[in-house]
Amino acid sequence: MSRVWHTLPTTDVLKELRTSQEGLSDVDVEERQQQYGPNTLPTAKPPSFVEIFLRQFKSPLIYVLLAAALIMVGLGEWIDAAIIAFVLIFNATLGSIQEGRAQDTLNALRHFTETQAVVRRGGKEYGLSDKELVPGDIIFLHEGEKVPADARVINANSLKINEAALTGESQSVEKQSEVFKKQDAAVSDQRNMIFRGTYVLAGSGLAVVTSTGLETAIGKISRKLQTIDREMPLQKNFRGLSRLIVATVIIADLLLLWIGLSTGRSLTEMFAVVVTLSVSIIPEGLIIVLTVVLAAGVWRMSRKKALVRRLQAVEALGQAQILAVDKTGTLTRNEMMVETIYIGGQTFKVSGNGYESSGVVTADGSTIEPLNHPEVLLAGRAASLVSNVKLWRDEKSGNWRLIGDPTEAALLVFGSKIGFAQEKLEEETPRLLTIPFDHKRRYDAVWYKQGKTPKVVVAGAPEEILKLSNKVWRKGRKVAMSVAEREKIDEAINQFSRRGLRVLAFALGSAAAPTSAIEKAGPLTFGGLFGISDAVRPEVIHSLELARQAGIKVVMITGDHKATAKAVASTVGIYHRGDTVLTGVDIDAYDDRALADNLSDVSVFARVTPEHKLRIVQAYKKNKLTIAMTGDGVNDAPSLVAADLGVAMGKIGTEVAKEAADIILLDDNIGSVILAVEEGRGIYQTIRKVILYLFSTGMGEMFCIGGAILLGWPLPVLPGQIIWLNLVTDSFLDVALSMDPKEPGLLRGSYPKPKKYIVDWAMGRRMFLMAAVMAIGSLWIFSAYLDAGADLTKAITITMTALAVYQWFNVWNCRSEKQSIFRSKPWSNRFLIGATFIVVGLQLLAIYHPWFQQVLKTTALGLIDWLIIIAVALPVILVEEGRKWLSRRWATQPAGTDNKAAVAQGLRV
């Protein structure tokens, strides 16, 4: 049942829906409930712990490790297979626990409140659950209620709706029953339609339900979410790395198998060597380290009021190049606030924070005392008198609750700042008549009793208030409205409008008796202007400045009008002179490729729909840019899912937005996003450190074994010993390395987007250099001991221990790309110090304990042996220190110096 309902008269709507203002009969309701189903949105069943656990195994690297474990079982190497299985199970368990905790927290955030609807059926009115509504039902709308379904307004009595969650616009929308002929009108322009999930701020009305469930505006957005596919950047990078590892393993295995068989070695021996070498190359510890690092980042973010639903989300935010922010609820508090007043020919600034009643008034940059300025007192008193809202703070959530128009709430709070308490004011000046705002007359008014003559205060559109006024309040008295005075007021209105403020004017008058026709009460005295804005969150400007310093481009996407969007963006520092503002109409004029080609200088997207937001996100991704999106409304959900990372507000965010997001800010503080960026960059650096360490040691072992086979030597290290080095020695050191503190300066300057395989050429050359030193030293010491007459067991033990010592030294190499070991702060990572002592102890057990000697086929070493081993292993530090020195020297070379720069550049890794 899809119609353009807003273009039809109410009589035609009722006819199309086969209903009347008396409502549906019980038979009609039963038939339609069977036809359309319940008025609910499908909710995904939360995954069980088993499903979450099995999901942790979806990785090519995991598959290779599982295959290696099965091969080990086939070879009878039960201990090796058990160690690999332990690594996999530990990783899956840790990841499952974290995801399960995030799911539990998200469930705790949900408020499963059932919306009640007042419906007329068969001429009778009663309340029922919104789930029971069907198209054709006649529903009543009252102040403070949630709209239960999409419906066409039949009649409205000063009906105002808050549609911010759906459209992104912070101002209330007045509804009416008149026909709108524009068929392709956006949701925000359909003034005779109401939509599920929005709220009645003021007034009352009658409407006929046109859509329920998935056919509502919210339902269509919810259905679209299911068709959007998105993968975390880290998942893509890790998948690429896994494939690179698998390809390397296969090539290395086939090459070594061919060399071994060509040199006369047996197939059984070479098969064991190849399997062992595969385990050596595959960084088993990386699986654990990745989970530990991400879990630690998630834990740190939870302490900063950010709930991370997916482990990879924090690291993904570190890669963000574009941060797209929603205006309403993200940059602003969705709380209207009087920011500026014009009265008596003077402009005053008003500070504050949304609906908080604290704030000061300034004139020409200096704070003033309102009691000493009668004009400010007059404005505060008028604001308090004309406001007709209920505003209170929820004790449980700490959020402000409002019944009524947000604009009137801004007036109420302004009056409170000046010192007027509405309750006391009403006691002193009782209300006689309230005239609510109407879209035709465009003002509201309050008659009150003060003395013998009833007084009135009127507030509304400036042009309407000016029409009613023939005098102006100036310096405590009424003066005639001259041409010059009118020009000053017009200029003030234009200034307010250019700043994106909503402008209200107020006027004062009196009459012998209250009347609803203000124009009949006689000319009014023009009081002044209120400049009202959606209050900017206090932390936003600093947070966005940090984002820019971090090389992240911030753009604003909003459903608000162009002028308002541009003004807010200028205030918070997103829009700068020369930037482009694109509207939804502009976006519609572009195809997808043209839109992607015209984004470079755009900083603000205004008057956009959810479809536009989705296209914007996809256009940035088409340009190979990593984009993070923040939002809180239903209209943000598709773009939250489509973005590389979606961030939702926890307090004011809708449930649809929270479900779509990867990170939820429990305190709605966008500064937490910037902290997460730093956390993500630190995580990525840590992952690279661990990969460098694991791959360089694995390559060193591979070169050592491959070199021995090429030279026709016995194996310098046995398969079981390689398993020991990789799954015991490495595991302690790489986990400890992952606990390295974040390096300084992560939020300074641009951040290069990670490579497809995480490993780049510079990192690969560094690995090769370290591995070559290890392989050459290990093969030399193995050959030297054999030539000196040592038995094969001792020579193998020496080589195994040398490789272990290389690992101990190399892990300290990998802490920094450029900083020398001798300048680093070793105590900044006490985990690494402890792990080093542990692996030294384990290696001593492997060499001197009889049981380990039998299992690992080792023998005891003497003091001289240890000194030789340490001397052979030291070059891995010295060579890396030389590379770091050249790297630092090259980095500081002045422009134009070519003498040694070329050498340094050639050697720089």
Pairing of strands 150-162, 193-194: antiparallel
What's the 3-state SS for 247-294?
HHHHHHHHHHHHHHHHCCCCHHHHHHHHHHHHHHHCCHHHHHHHHHHH
What's 169's DSSP letter? -
Question: Six-digit token pair at 264?
Answer: 């006369």
Please say whether the beta carbons of 635 and 610 come within 8 A.
yes
Q: Please state, in angstroms and rounded to a whole number, the distance separating the CA atoms of residues 666 and 654.
A: 13
CA distance 810 to 829: 15
CB-based burial label for 560 (10 Å; 0-12, 13-18, 19+): buried
147 CB contacts (<8 Å, ≥6 apart)? 141, 161, 194, 195, 196, 197, 198, 199, 200
Q: Which residues, in sequence order, are bridge partners of residue 664?
A: 307, 648
Of 225, 168, 178, which is closest to residue 198 (Cα–Cα)? Answer: 168
How far apart (Å, rounded) are the C-alpha atoms in residues 69 and 72? 5
Q: Are 436 and 444 in contact (CB under 8 A)?
A: yes
User: Please, what sign has the CA dihedral across residues 845, 848, 854, 858?
Assistant: positive
Length of the chain, in residues = 909
- Active-site residue numbers? 326
In the three-class reduction of DSSP (H, G, I as helix; E, B as strand; rest coil), residue 404 is classed as coil
DSSP string, 472-488: EEETTEEEE--HHHHHH
- 3-class secondary structure, 244: helix
Are 248 and 283 contacting, i.e. CB atoms less than 8 angstroms apart? no
Residues 29, 855: Cα–Cα separation, whole Å: 78
Residue 307's closest CA among 639, 669, 687? 669
Are the beta carbons of 766 and 876 closer than 8 angstroms? no
Residue with tokens 């009118």: 486
CA distance 690 to 734: 6
> Phi and psi dihedrals of 386, rounded to 5?
-80, -15
Distance separating alpha carbons of residues 839 and 122, to the nearest angstrom: 81
**Contact 93/50 with Cβ under 8 angstroms?**
no
DSSP structure class, residue 857:
T
- Could you give the CA distance from residue 685 to residue 126 in angstroms, rounded to a whole number? 62
- Would you say 174 and 159 are in contact if contact means Cβ atoms under 8 Å apart? yes
Token pair 């054709």 is at which residue?
136
Cβ atoms of 273 and 705 within 8 Å: the answer is yes
* DSSP reduced 3-state for 641: helix
Grouping H, G, I as helix, E, B as strand and the rest as coil, residue 447 is strand
CA distances in angstroms from 69 to 54, 66, 291, 699, listed in the order given: 18, 5, 20, 21
* CA 508 to mean position of chain CA atoms: 48
Integer-rounded Cα radius of gyration of the chain? 36
Whether the Cβ atoms of residue 88 and residue 57 lie closer than 8 Å to each other: yes
Compute how many other C-beta atoms are within 10 angstroms of the C-beta atom of residue 320.
30
Q: Of 97, 136, 100, 116, nearest to 13 (Cα)? A: 136
The DSSP code for 729 is I
The residues that bridge with 363 in the sheet, in sequence order, are 366
